[in-house]
A and B are shown apart, each in its own frame.
Chain A
Amino acid sequence: MTPVYFKNFKTEFKQLIIVFLMMLYACVYTHANSSIVFRDVTEETGITFKHTDGSSGKRYIVESVSAGLALFDYDRDGDEDIYFLNGAALKGAKYVSAPKNALYRNGGGWKFTDVTEKAGVGDTGFGLGVAAGDYDNDGDPDLYINNYGPNVLYRNNGDGTFTDVTKRAGVANGHKVGAAAFFLDMDKDGDLDLFVANYLDFTYQNHLMRTSKGIPKYAGPMDYPPMPNDLFRNNGDGTFTNVSKESGVADHKGWGMGGVCADYDNDGDTDVYIANDVAGNFLFENDGTGKFKEVGLVTGLAYDLQGNEHGSMGIDCGDYDNDGKLDFYQTCYSKELATLFRNLGDNLFEDVTMLTGAGAGTLPHVTWGNSFVDFDNDGHRDIFIACGHLQDNVELYNDKETTFAQNVILKNTGDGKFVNVSEDSGDGMKAKLRSRGAAFDDMDNDGDIDVVILNSRGGPTILRNDSPSKGHWVQVRLRGVRTNHDGVGARVKVVAGDLTLIDEVHSGRGYQSHYGMRLHFGLGGRKKVDRIEVRWIGGEVEIFQNISANRLVTITEGTGRTE
C-alpha cells in the first residue's frame, strides 16, 4: 500500500514539473519572440536568383555597391512581385552566360516564378539602382534601371511583358556609374519625371586598388571624381528631356547613392534627398516648378550632429514619432552610426540618433537598405537595417568588423526611442550575409509588412513577418486620375482615434531600391479609421471618413469613395 504522503508528493511533484515547464516555455518563447518576428522563408519561395557582382579579383569599386531591388505589382494582380538587379562581367571576369536581372512573379502563398524571359526584363547591364513608376500613365508600372553603363527604361505593355524604350525615351544617360533612381512629379503636371543619381567617375583607366596593412581592399569614393546627378522631365509623349542644368541639379557634384523623394517641407511639392558617400548629403528643395536649390546644410540634413559627413548609403523617410512631419533615416559606413534625422518643423532637422537609440547595432557594420515600417502594427514605425560589409575581407585587417553581418531591427517603443530587438526577432534575423538593397511590402497580403533583401554575391533573403501580437492596420493604394497614376508624391494622413499617421507614395527609396507604393499604417488597438486625407501631388485634397480597419483601401482620385 502506498503511503498517503508519498501519493501526495507524486501529485505535487507532477504539478511542479508542469508549472516549471510552462515557465520555461514562457521564458523561451518570450526570449525567442519579441513583438516583431521574422521567419526566413527563402527556401520555400522557389527563388533561385543569385546575385553576382561581376568581380574578377581586381576590386573595381562598382562591385562593392551592387545592388538594389524592386517590389512592385507588375501584372496588377494584387500582389507584389520582385525584381532583382544583377551585376555583369567586369573586365577580367568571364561567365558561361551573362548574368541578368530577374523578375519573379508572386503566385501567392510565398511561391514565386521566374518570369524574366517572358517579361523581357532580363537586362544584362551592371545593375545598381531601380525605380518603378507608371511614367506613361497607362495603368501599369514601368521600370527604370540605373546601371554602370547605359541605363534602361522598360515600358510595361500591360500583358506581362515589357519593352525596352530607353532610346526612344532618351534616358540612357550615357555611360556612368549609376546609383538610385526615382520617379517623381517635380513640376506637378501629372506625369512622372525621372531623377537619376550618379555615384562617381570610375573608368578602368582610373581604377585603383588600396591596401590596409598590406591586405588588398576596394578603393573609396574619394579616390574618384564626384559626379552631378541627372534630372529628366517627362514630355508627356513617352520621351524625356534632360533638364539637369536648368533645374539646378547639375550644379552640385557628389557621390550619390541611395535617397528618397519626399515633401520634406510639406509645401505640396516633391523634394529630393540624396545620400552622398563621404560627403555632405544633398537635399534638393523643389520650388514647385522643377527648379531645385540645394539646402542640405541649412536644414541640418547634410551632416551628422557633429558636422561630419558620412559614407552615406541609403535614405528612407517616415514619421517615426507621429508628429505629422516626415523624418529621415540614413545608413552609412562602419565606424559611423546610421543616423535618424528628426523633423523639427520650420525646415530644420536634428540628428537624434544618440538620444533615441536609433543607431544601435550599426556602428561596427556597413549599413545599406533601410526603412521605417510598423512591423507589429502597434502604430509606431520601427526601423529595419540591412547590413553587410563593403569589403569582402575586412577581418584580415580589422577583426572588430565582419564581412558578413546580421541585419538589425530596431523596435520603436512609442516614446521616441528605439530598442535593438534583432536577437529576439526570430530565425529570419540570424543569417549573416552581405546585404545591400532591402525592400518592404506585404508580400502575402496578410496585413503586415515582410522584407526582401538582396545579398551581394549570393541568393536573396525573404523574411515573412510572423509577428505574434499584431495590432490593427489599414493599407492605402492610390490611383491618380488627373495626377500621376500611382499617386507618387501624394501625402496620406490617417487618423484613428488619438493616432495620426502620415506617409507619402514614393518611387525609389532606401538603398537604390523600390517598394511600398501601397501605404501601410499600423493602428495598434484602434479598430477603425476615422479619417483618411489624401493630398494629391499638384491636385486637390480629398477626405474619406469611417473606414474599417484591416483592409486594403484603394482610393481613386476624384471619385470621392474608397474601394
Chain B
Amino acid sequence: MAKQIKRRKRKTKKSSHFQPPSTTEKRHKWILLSAIIVCIAIAGLFWMKYFSGPDEKSQKTKLRIDSTTGPDISVLTDEEKIAALKTEQMQLAQQLLRDFPGSDATVALVGSVYEQHGNNIEAVKFFNKALELNPNRADVYSALGWIAFMKEEYEEAITLRRRALEIDANLPGLRSAIASAMMMVGRHTEAIEQLEQNVQFFPKSVHSHFLLGQAYLQQKDYENAKKHYKRAIELDKNHVNAYYGLFTACSRLKQQDEASEYQAIFKNLKAEERKGLKDRKVAFDDAIEMQKAVAETYMHAGKMYQDQGKPEKAQDLMERAVALEQKNTLYLMELASSYGMSNRMTEALEVHKTISEIEPQNPVCFLNIGVISAQLKRFEDAEEALLTVIKLAPKESSGYRLLAQLYLEAQRNLPKTRELAEKALAFEATAFNYFLLGWACDVNGDTADAFSALKRAVELDPKNPKYQQMLMYIKEKELIK
C-alpha cells in the first residue's frame, strides 16, 4: 500500500498554464526558423551585391593588395625590414631563374639585384652569363662598363661601353660615358671626338655639352669650353657645374665681368644644391629605399610573367610591388593595365581610383575611371569622372567626347550631348567626333545638322561601317520628312 502511494506521488503534476507542443508543432517552428534564417541570408547577399557602395569594394581590393604574398614587414625594425626585403628580393630572383631558365633578361635582372646589394662580384658573373645567352645586350655591357670604371679599369670600361654602342647606337649616355673614361686617362682629344659625335645625335644632351666644356677647358681651348658650357645652361638653366665651368673659362679668358657674373650664379645655385642635398640626406630612409628597389624588381618580374601570358602571376607580383611602393602611380598604372587585359575591370577601376587619390589633378586617371565605369554600367560614377576630366583639362577633346558618348549610349541628358560633341569637335576634328555630333544632333531633332556631321565623318573615315549606317539612317529620316 505505501509503495503504491509513493508511485502515485511521483507522477508529474500538470500545470494549467503550460501545454507541451506536439511533434507537428515543433516541426513547424523549426521550419519557420530556418526559413527566416534563409531569408535574412538572401537579403544580406542581395544588399551586398546591389547596395554596397564603391568604398567597400575598394576596401576589399585594397585589402587584397595589402595582404599579398610578401611578409608583413611593418612590424619589424628597420634593420630587420631591410634584411627581410633583401631575402625576399633574392628569393624572387631565384624563382625567376627557375621559371625562366635560359632567359638573358632574367639573368641580367638577377645581376642587377646583386649589384643593388653591393655584391658586384656576383653581379659581374650574372652579367657575363646574360651576355653568353644574348651577346646583344647593350644595357649589360653598359652596366659592366660602369663597374669597370669604378674599379679604375678605364680601358676595360671604354671597351665595354664601345661594345654597347655597337649594339645600340641610340642608348643614351654611352658616348658621354666613353668620353668620361677617356678623360680619366688623359685622352682628352679622343673624348672630344666622342662627345662632338654625341651632340650630333643628341643635340640636347646637357651632359655631353657640359663634358665638352670640361674637355676643352683642360685642352686650354677656352672659347670652345665657354661655348659648350653656355649651351649646357641654355638647355638646363640650373646646371650648377656648367656655371662653374663658365666662371673658370671666363677667368682664363680674362673676361672678369662675365666671370664674376657666373661666379655669383654658381654660388647661389651651389647653396641651393647643398640645401637640397642636406634635406635629402636628412630624409633618406634606408628601409624605404630598399622597399623601392624590391618593388622595382617585383614590377620587372611581373612584366616578365605578363609577357609570358601568365597574367595571374604577373598581377600577384605587381600587387606586391604596389604594396611596397603605394604611391608609385607608374606601378599602379601597370597593374591596372594588367587587370584590364585580364578583363578584371572592377579591380582595374579601383586601382585607377587609387591613382586619382594620389594625383587628383591628373585628368588621365579620371578618364580611365570614366571609361571603365561606363563599361561596368556605373553611369553616375562614369559621369562624375568625366566631368572631372573636363574640369581638369578643359581644352582637351577626350572629356567632352566620352561624356557625350556616355549620355548618348545611356540615353540620358540628351539635350547636353550636342554641346559636348561640338566642344569635342572644336578641340579635335576627328571622324569619331563628327560621328558623335551627328548622333547628338539626331537625338535632339536636328536631322539636317546630323546629316552634315555624319557626312563629314564618312569623308574622314570612309571604311567605317558604323558611320555609313548612321548616315544612311539619317538620310532615310530626311527623305521621310
A interface, CB within 8 angstroms of B: 210-214, 216, 220, 222-223, 279-280, 297-298, 300, 303, 305-308, 335, 348, 352, 354-357, 359-361, 363-364, 395-400, 417
Mark out the residues of chain B between 286 and 334 whose CB falls within 8 Å of any chain A CB in the assembled complex. Answer: 286-287, 290
Measured between beta carbons, the chain B residues less than 8 angstroms from A216 are 79
Measured between beta carbons, the chain A residues less than 8 angstroms from B119 are 399
How far is it, in angstroms, between the C-alpha of A223 and the C-alpha of B277 when the chains are bound?
Answer: 11
Measured between beta carbons, the chain A residues less than 8 angstroms from B214 are 305-306
Mark out the residues of chain B between 85 and 129 whose CB falls within 8 Å of any chain A CB in the assembled complex. Answer: 86, 116-121
Are B241 and A400 in contact, with the CB atoms below 8 A? no
Beta-carbon nearest neighbor of A397 in chain B: B118
* Closest beta carbon of chain B to A132's beta carbon, Å: 36
How far is it, in angstroms, between the C-alpha of A305 and the C-alpha of B287 when the chains are bound?
Answer: 35
Are B152 and A361 in contact, with the CB atoms below 8 A? yes
Are B152 and A222 in contact, with the CB atoms below 8 A? no
How far is it, in angstroms, between the C-alpha of A306 and the C-alpha of B270 when the chains are bound?
Answer: 12
Measured between beta carbons, the chain B residues less than 8 angstroms from A364 are 150-152
Are A354 and B186 in contact, with the CB atoms below 8 A? yes
- Say yes or no: A213-B188 contact (C-beta < 8 A), given A220-B281, A354-B218, A400-B151: no
Q: Give which listed residue, B83, B243, B263, B277, contacts A214 with CB less than 8 A.
A: B83
Are A223 and B218 in contact, with the CB atoms below 8 A? no
Determine if B240 is an interface residue (Cβ-Cβ < 8 Å): yes
Q: Can you sample 13 A-B contacts with CB below 8 Å?
A: A211-B78, A212-B286, A213-B86, A214-B81, A222-B281, A297-B263, A303-B244, A307-B266, A335-B150, A355-B186, A357-B185, A398-B118, A400-B120
Are B152 and A355 in contact, with the CB atoms below 8 A? no
9 additional A-B residue pairs with CB within 8 Å, beyond A212-B118, A397-B118, A399-B121: A213-B117, A213-B290, A222-B281, A305-B218, A354-B188, A355-B186, A395-B118, A400-B118, A417-B186
Determine if B337 is an interface residue (Cβ-Cβ < 8 Å): no
Are B263 and A298 in contact, with the CB atoms below 8 A? yes
Majority DSSP secondary structure for residues of A touching B: loop
* Closest beta carbon of chain B to A492's beta carbon, Å: 31
Determine if B391 is an interface residue (Cβ-Cβ < 8 Å): no
Measured between beta carbons, the chain B residues less than 8 angstroms from A395 are 118
- Say yes or no: A307-B244 contact (C-beta < 8 A), given A211-B82, A214-B286: yes
* Closest beta carbon of chain A to B150's beta carbon, Å: 5
Measured between beta carbons, the chain B residues less than 8 angstroms from A397 are 117-118
Are B118 and A213 in contact, with the CB atoms below 8 A? yes
Measured between beta carbons, the chain B residues less than 8 angstroms from A307 are 240-241, 243-245, 266, 270
Determine if B183 is an interface residue (Cβ-Cβ < 8 Å): yes
Beta-carbon nearest neighbor of B83 in chain A: A214
Measured between beta carbons, the chain A residues less than 8 angstroms from B277 are 222
Q: Give which listed residue, A214, A220, A303, A399, contacts B290 with CB less than 8 A.
A: A214
Question: 0/1 per residue, B239-268, Cβ < 8 Å to A?
Answer: 011011100100110000000000100110
Are A308 and B248 in contact, with the CB atoms below 8 A? no
How far is it, in angstroms, between the C-alpha of A137 and the C-alpha of B27 when the chains are bound?
Answer: 119
Are B79 and A214 in contact, with the CB atoms below 8 A? yes
Q: Give which listed residue, B152, B186, B270, contacts A363 with CB less than 8 A.
A: B152
Q: Give which listed residue, B79, B218, B241, B245, contacts A211 with CB less than 8 A.
A: B79
Determine if B278 is an interface residue (Cβ-Cβ < 8 Å): yes
Question: 0/1 per residue, B50-71, Cβ < 8 Å to A?
Answer: 0000000000000000000000
Beta-carbon nearest neighbor of B123 in chain A: A399
Mark out the residues of chain B between 210 and 225 whose CB falls within 8 Å of any chain A CB in the assembled complex. Answer: 214, 217-218
How far is it, in angstroms, between the C-alpha of A2 and the C-alpha of B185 when the chains are bound?
Answer: 61
Beta-carbon nearest neighbor of A396 in chain B: B118
Measured between beta carbons, the chain A residues less than 8 angstroms from B35 are none
* Closest beta carbon of chain A to B218's beta carbon, Å: 6
Are B183 and A360 in contact, with the CB atoms below 8 A? no
Determine if B341 is an interface residue (Cβ-Cβ < 8 Å): no
* Closest beta carbon of chain A to B476's beta carbon, Å: 73
Measured between beta carbons, the chain B residues less than 8 angstroms from A212 are 118, 286
Q: Please list the 3 inter-chain residue pairs (A to B) with the smallest Cβ-Cβ separation, ordered nearest first.
A: A307-B244, A214-B82, A398-B118
Measured between beta carbons, the chain A residues less than 8 angstroms from B152 are 360-361, 363-364
Measured between beta carbons, the chain B residues less than 8 angstroms from A356 are 186
Q: Give which listed residue, B82, B86, B252, B267, contacts A297 with CB less than 8 A.
A: B267
- Say yes or no: A400-B150 contact (C-beta < 8 A), given A212-B286, A297-B267, A306-B241: yes
Are B78 and A214 in contact, with the CB atoms below 8 A? yes
Are B184 and A354 in contact, with the CB atoms below 8 A? yes
Are A213 and B82 in contact, with the CB atoms below 8 A? yes
Q: Give which listed residue, B120, B147, B183, B286, contacts A213 with CB less than 8 A.
A: B286
How far is it, in angstroms, between the C-alpha of A206 and the C-alpha of B267 when the chains are bound?
Answer: 29
Beta-carbon nearest neighbor of A217 in chain B: B286
How far is it, in angstroms, between the C-alpha of A214 and the C-alpha of B88 when the chains are bound?
Answer: 14
How far is it, in angstroms, between the C-alpha of A307 and the C-alpha of B79 when the chains are bound?
Answer: 36
Measured between beta carbons, the chain A residues less than 8 angstroms from B263 are 297-298
How far is it, in angstroms, between the C-alpha of A464 and the C-alpha of B83 when the chains are bound?
Answer: 46
Measured between beta carbons, the chain B residues less than 8 angstroms from A211 are 78-79, 82, 286
* Closest beta carbon of chain B to A170's beta carbon, Å: 35
Are A357 and B120 in contact, with the CB atoms below 8 A? no
Q: Give which listed residue, B83, B267, B286, contacts A210 with CB less than 8 A.
A: B286
- Say yes or no: A306-B244 contact (C-beta < 8 A), given A211-B82, A214-B78, A360-B152: yes
Are A214 and B185 in contact, with the CB atoms below 8 A? no
Are B241 and A214 in contact, with the CB atoms below 8 A? no
Are B286 and A348 in contact, with the CB atoms below 8 A? no
How far is it, in angstroms, between the C-alpha of A469 and the C-alpha of B184 when the chains are bound?
Answer: 30
* Closest beta carbon of chain A to B230's beta carbon, Å: 15
How far is it, in angstroms, between the C-alpha of A307 and the C-alpha of B246 when the chains are bound?
Answer: 10
Are A223 and B281 in contact, with the CB atoms below 8 A? yes
Measured between beta carbons, the chain A residues less than 8 angstroms from B266 are 297, 307
Measured between beta carbons, the chain A residues less than 8 angstroms from B121 are 399
Are A357 and B150 in contact, with the CB atoms below 8 A? no
How far is it, in angstroms, between the C-alpha of A92 and the C-alpha of B324 when the chains are bound?
Answer: 37
How far is it, in angstroms, between the C-alpha of A352 and the C-alpha of B287 when the chains are bound?
Answer: 40
* Closest beta carbon of chain B to A207's beta carbon, Å: 15
Measured between beta carbons, the chain B residues less than 8 angstroms from A303 are 244
Measured between beta carbons, the chain B residues less than 8 angstroms from A308 are 241
Measured between beta carbons, the chain A residues less than 8 angstroms from B274 are 279
How far is it, in angstroms, between the C-alpha of A457 and the C-alpha of B252 when the chains are bound?
Answer: 46
Measured between beta carbons, the chain A residues less than 8 angstroms from B287 are 214
Measured between beta carbons, the chain B residues less than 8 angstroms from A220 are 281
Measured between beta carbons, the chain A residues less than 8 angstroms from B86 are 213-214
How far is it, in angstroms, between the C-alpha of A538 and the C-alpha of B183 when the chains are bound?
Answer: 43
Measured between beta carbons, the chain A residues less than 8 angstroms from B184 are 354, 359
* Closest beta carbon of chain B to A82's beta carbon, Å: 32
Measured between beta carbons, the chain A residues less than 8 angstroms from B82 are 211, 213-214
Are B186 and A357 in contact, with the CB atoms below 8 A? yes
Mark out the residues of chain B between 270 and 287 whose CB falls within 8 Å of any chain A CB in the assembled complex. Answer: 270, 274, 277-278, 281-282, 284, 286-287
How far is it, in angstroms, between the C-alpha of A305 and the C-alpha of B245 when the chains are bound?
Answer: 8
* Closest beta carbon of chain B to A515's beta carbon, Å: 28
Are A399 and B244 in contact, with the CB atoms below 8 A? no
Measured between beta carbons, the chain A residues less than 8 angstroms from B78 are 211, 214
How far is it, in angstroms, between the C-alpha of A223 and the C-alpha of B282 when the chains are bound?
Answer: 7
* Closest beta carbon of chain B to A367's beta carbon, Å: 13
How far is it, in angstroms, between the C-alpha of A307 and the C-alpha of B186 when the chains are bound?
Answer: 19
Measured between beta carbons, the chain B residues less than 8 angstroms from A210 are 284, 286
How far is it, in angstroms, between the C-alpha of A417 and the C-alpha of B187 when the chains are bound?
Answer: 13
Beta-carbon nearest neighbor of A212 in chain B: B286
Measured between beta carbons, the chain A residues less than 8 angstroms from B217 are 305
Beta-carbon nearest neighbor of B277 in chain A: A222
How far is it, in angstroms, between the C-alpha of A417 and the C-alpha of B185 when the chains are bound?
Answer: 11
Beta-carbon nearest neighbor of B183 in chain A: A354
Beta-carbon nearest neighbor of B211 in chain A: A306
How far is it, in angstroms, between the C-alpha of A348 and the C-alpha of B83 when the chains are bound?
Answer: 50
Measured between beta carbons, the chain B residues less than 8 angstroms from A355 are 186, 188, 218
Are B183 and A348 in contact, with the CB atoms below 8 A? no
